[in-house]
Amino acid sequence: MRKLSYFIAVSIDGYIGDPSGEAEFFTRFVDEEFFGFLKEEYPETLPTPGRRPLGIDHLENKQFDTIIQGRRSYEVALDAGITSPYAHMRQLVASRTLTSTDPAVEIVSGDVAAKIRELKREDGLGIYLCGGANLASELVDEVDELVIKTYPLILGSGMPMFGSAYAQTEFALESHRVFGNGVVVRTYGRKR
């Protein structure tokens, strides 16, 4: 059975973006060592438009072959004129207001948790939950793994990892890696 992984960048104080949702400032921590890790372990998490300029367009997906993101996360790409930001994966966007702007992007307007359960029953690699906070809250019961990239930055306020109240959910630390630039990547598996 496939798993849903919330692969997310956060500040030390647990925010995935500033109060407006902006998170571009995290990219300044992507140095040679950290980029090497992403390229080796999670190349598919880098958006399609950046893969060719970075020289990684040829790399195969290693962890995920499907991505789901919320409307606000997807609109970052749309605002840049990109309708298929992860063309190297099956793309889903959870939204009750958007209509598909690209045939490669499936809009999920109904029960997104039911859709994830359906996807988990299919063969393939994992499912990458890209964001955002509200979608993560809606899917918290379906999240099997957290891959938290913590950047050495305090935001003070902003968009939390999970956008609304939910029941406590326990995860177990499976691995961690510390980089020279201060980034820490921790992987947690859901305790069953």
CATH numeric code, 13-127+137-153: 3.40.430
pTM for this prediction:
0.95
The model's confidence at residue 163, banded by pLDDT at 50, 70 and 90, is confident
Using the structure block, give the residue that is written with the tokens 């045939």.
103
Contact criterion met (CB below 8 Å) for 185 and 149: yes
SS3 (DSSP) at 30:
coil
Query: Considering the chain, what is the average pLDDT of its residues?
Result: 94
Cα–Cα separations (whole angstroms), residue 170 to 61, 65, 116, 119, 156: 29, 26, 20, 23, 25
Of the two residues 21 and 66, the one the predictor is more confident about is 66
CA distance 138 to 71: 13
Which neighbouring-strand residues pair with 151?
A: 11
pLDDT for the residue 39: 96
Picking from 139, 137, 85, 81, the residue whose alpha carbon sits closest to that of residue 115 is: 139
167 CB neighbour count, 10 Å cutoff: 6
Residues 144-163 have a mean pLDDT of: 95
Give the pLDDT score at 192: 83
Q: How far apart are CA 163 and CA 8, in angstroms?
A: 14
How far does Cα 30 stand from its chain's mean position?
16
pLDDT in tens, 14-27: 999 998 888 889 99
User: What confidence score (pLDDT) does residue 37 get?
Assistant: 97
pLDDT in tens, 71-122: 989 998 999 999 999 999 999 999 999 987 799 999 999 999 999 999 999 9
Q: Is the pLDDT of residue 167 over 80?
A: no
Task: Determine the pLDDT at residue 132.
Answer: 85
CB 152 within 8 A of CB 182: yes
pLDDT of 165 higher than 80: no
